[in-house]
A and B are shown apart, each in its own frame.
Chain A
Amino acid sequence: MSDLKDQGTAINLLSCAKTFAGGVQALEPLDLEIAGGETVVLLGPSGCGKTTTLRIIAGLEEPDPGGRVMFGDDDVTRLPIEKRKIGMVFQSYALFPNMTVRENIAYGLMVRRMPKPDIDRRVGEMLEMMHIGDLEFRRIDQLSGGQCQRVALARAIAVQPRVLLLDEPLTALDAILRTRLRVEIDQLLRRLGITAVYVTHDQGEAMSLGDRIVVMSRGRVEQIGTPRDIYYKPNNDFVAEFIGTINRLRGIARGDHVEVAGASLPWSANRSGGEVEILFRPENVTISNLKSAHLKGNVVTSFFQGDRTKLILDGLGERQVIIETTDRVEFIAGQEIGFRIDPDSMIILNT
């Protein structure tokens, strides 16, 4: 199936804003460059403008005047969706209930007036690729959620679109199926080498699928970066809080160390004076004896999770601190423990 392989079309959004009738600004001017063949995930809480962005790329929504959408060198801003040669997968699948699985997959080819033998060949390829060969003649209401999603993907890919747009395609499925299909979609996107924009509010999905993640909140881009960048080097409070679990402690910078909760932490960044915030993730600490510990806290609760134990500590500022350890020790509530923070994984934001 080497003919499926495509270099992929680059997408370029140039100051695309969106104000809906009634004056709601759903999207502030957004610049986004997506390389050919890249998978970009739009991630953010509900109502942050992910779908709006995707619909602007698709051509279902027009950006406010001044915004431009480029596919490679083509300016497609004024092009309606049916002329943009995209593939789109909707959260609700949006399969045609009046057609069988086969007819659904063939629809895009049929409206393009592809010759019948070519349609048959292509639909056959799709059925095989998505492992839905035995569903060929089923009606849509005879499919389960996971099967619907496979058909929706097959239908979108069948027309060999320039870009593939997916709006929360897995949200309606149960957890196990979601993980399984996530792996399948990932392999599919790599195999096709197609440019893809994937919308989700699930950070696990975003991390595993995205070459890059665009974190959005309230119509604004908070950070664009690789999953590692986003996780290890969040730009700001919002990103740090939104992705994974993070602890934050207030401190005062003093030369080569920071004073936090009556203790002192080593600090490499040489910035003296002023308040700073220290952020660290639960997995970047090691429990140590009280004498050599960076910080000490009292165990409020411990959750044994098999491979590791999650501890909730207090006595370290106004917020509780969550840490994780793989030590096979039992912790009891009220116990005082000390831990060290891996200095390289500390994130420091100015306040």
Chain B
Amino acid sequence: MRRPWLFYSQFAFTIGVCTFLIVPVIMSMMAGITENFFLGIKSGVTLRWVYEVLDLYLDTIYLSLLIAVICLIVTLILGIPTAYVLAKKSGRWARMFEEFLVLPVAIPGLAIALALIVTYGGFRDFRTSWGFILVGHVLYTLPFMVRSVLAVLSSTDFQTLEESAASLGASFWQRFFGIIIPNCRSGILAGSLMVVTLSVGEFNLTWMLHTPLTKTLPVGLADSYASMRLEIGSAYTLVFLIMILPLLIGLQMFGTSKERKPAVPDEDPSEQANQQEIAR
């Protein structure tokens, strides 16, 4: 039989690739909790480096989370209505705008950052606040929110749902919050997880936009690798992974848990009527 042979060779290949990718991550995390990286794990296990990271860079972690949350709120407020309008309008302009939305993803983060600095860099107070980074993050993540909401909207006949809600007397806002939003919940959730993970992990843009007082986690990470002991940088990676992994796992679980239950066969209505009569 050829099949087992083929199967095992593919299996080995997959394992090989995974190992190649995962080992560095594990190594780095290990390095974060070893006493001395050059002596290896036998030098002892410690949480010292982790504490040191928290001590030195706790504010970057807070800032990262703060920016991610506000970025999420802003993309929700801007992104859902945008997706709704795009799904509703079928004209050429709507399609062009949709294409236009991909631009921030296609353009390198550095270029976006440069554009922002050139345009708004003159406003001192704004330039030195974390608001400046926030703007970059919103620009970068908004398309992801719009796209994932738009994908759900275009896969459901939301227009008919809205029409039937209207026929029942629901006003626009009642329809929007009672029908549209709940029915693109899966897209909103997927988009939200995407926005948060992207924002927390964003480096290119942020590195250009940051000031010594407005560092986010990834920027701090680069900083620590450049100027600190390797163990501190590695401990930092560990902290980062602990923050971001739950988000990624959440995203994954959400993506796979959307199975439809099969419809049940029609029951005989006369039988149901009989049952109801008996019940009475």
- A-side residues, CB < 8 A to B, are 58, 60, 80-83, 85-88, 90, 92, 94-98, 107-108, 111-112, 128, 131-134, 139, 141-147, 150, 155-156, 159, 165, 177, 180, 184
* Known contacts A90-B164, A147-B267, A155-B168, then 17 further A-B pairs from the complex at CB < 8 Å, ordered by chain A residue: A81-B163, A82-B166, A87-B168, A88-B163, A92-B160, A94-B163, A95-B164, A96-B161, A107-B168, A111-B170, A132-B272, A143-B264, A144-B263, A145-B263, A156-B167, A165-B167, A180-B269
A113 to chain B, nearest CB (A): 10
**A88 x B164 contact (CB < 8 A):** yes
**B261 x A159 contact (CB < 8 A):** no
List chain A residues, Cβ under 8 A from B263: 141-145
**A141 x B260 contact (CB < 8 A):** yes
**A108 x B183 contact (CB < 8 A):** no
A165–B163 CA distance with the chains assembled, in angstroms: 13
**B264 x A142 contact (CB < 8 A):** yes
| Interface residues of chain B: helix, strand, loop or mixed (majority) | helix
**B167 x A145 contact (CB < 8 A):** no
**Which one of B14-22, B24-32, B171-179, B236-244 is at the interface?**
B171-179
A146–B270 CA distance with the chains assembled, in angstroms: 13
Closest residue of chain B to A128 (Cβ to Cβ) is B276
B277 to chain A, nearest CB (A): 10
**A131 x B272 contact (CB < 8 A):** yes
A345–B265 CA distance with the chains assembled, in angstroms: 45
List chain B residues, Cβ under 8 A from A177: 266
Interface magnitude class on chain B: 20 to 34
Name B117-172 residues within 8 Å CB distance of A.
Answer: 156-157, 160-161, 163-171
A134–B185 CA distance with the chains assembled, in angstroms: 28
List chain A residues, Cβ under 8 A from B179: 96, 98
The 4 nearest A-B residue pairs measured at CB: A108-B168, A94-B164, A88-B167, A98-B182
Would you give the 0/1 interface string for B242-280, flagging 1 where the beta carbon is closer than 8 Å to chain A? 000000000000000000110111110100110110000
Closest residue of chain A to B170 (Cβ to Cβ) is A111
Q: A92-B160, A98-B185, A111-B178 are in contact. Are A81 and B275 (CB under 8 A)?
A: no
List chain A residues, Cβ under 8 A from B272: 131-134
A16–B189 CA distance with the chains assembled, in angstroms: 45
Closest residue of chain B to A180 (Cβ to Cβ) is B269
| Listed A/B pairs (18) with beta-carbon separation below 8 Å | A80-B166, A88-B163, A88-B167, A90-B160, A94-B164, A96-B183, A98-B179, A98-B182, A98-B185, A107-B170, A107-B178, A111-B169, A111-B174, A134-B272, A139-B261, A141-B260, A143-B264, A146-B266
- B-side residues, CB < 8 A to A, are 156-157, 160-161, 163-171, 174, 178-179, 182-183, 185, 260-261, 263-267, 269, 272-273, 275-276
Residue among B167, B171, B269 with most chain A CB within 10 A: B167
List chain A residues, Cβ under 8 A from B182: 98
A242 to chain B, nearest CB (A): 28
Residue among B156, B170, B171 with most chain A CB within 10 A: B170
A165 to chain B, nearest CB (A): 8
**B261 x A86 contact (CB < 8 A):** no
Contact of A159 among B168, B260, B273 (CB under 8 A): B168
A9 to chain B, nearest CB (A): 15
A173 to chain B, nearest CB (A): 9
**B183 x A97 contact (CB < 8 A):** yes
A72–B52 CA distance with the chains assembled, in angstroms: 79
**B170 x A94 contact (CB < 8 A):** no
**A111 x B168 contact (CB < 8 A):** yes
A108 to chain B, nearest CB (A): 3
B273 to chain A, nearest CB (A): 5
A16 to chain B, nearest CB (A): 19
List chain B residues, Cβ under 8 A from A96: 161, 164-165, 179, 183
A34–B169 CA distance with the chains assembled, in angstroms: 23
List chain B residues, Cβ under 8 A from A86: 167
List chain B residues, Cβ under 8 A from A142: 261, 263-264
A335 to chain B, nearest CB (A): 46
**A98 x B183 contact (CB < 8 A):** yes
A351–B264 CA distance with the chains assembled, in angstroms: 55
Q: A98-B185, A142-B264 are in contact. Are A134 and B275 (CB under 8 A)?
A: yes
A133–B278 CA distance with the chains assembled, in angstroms: 13
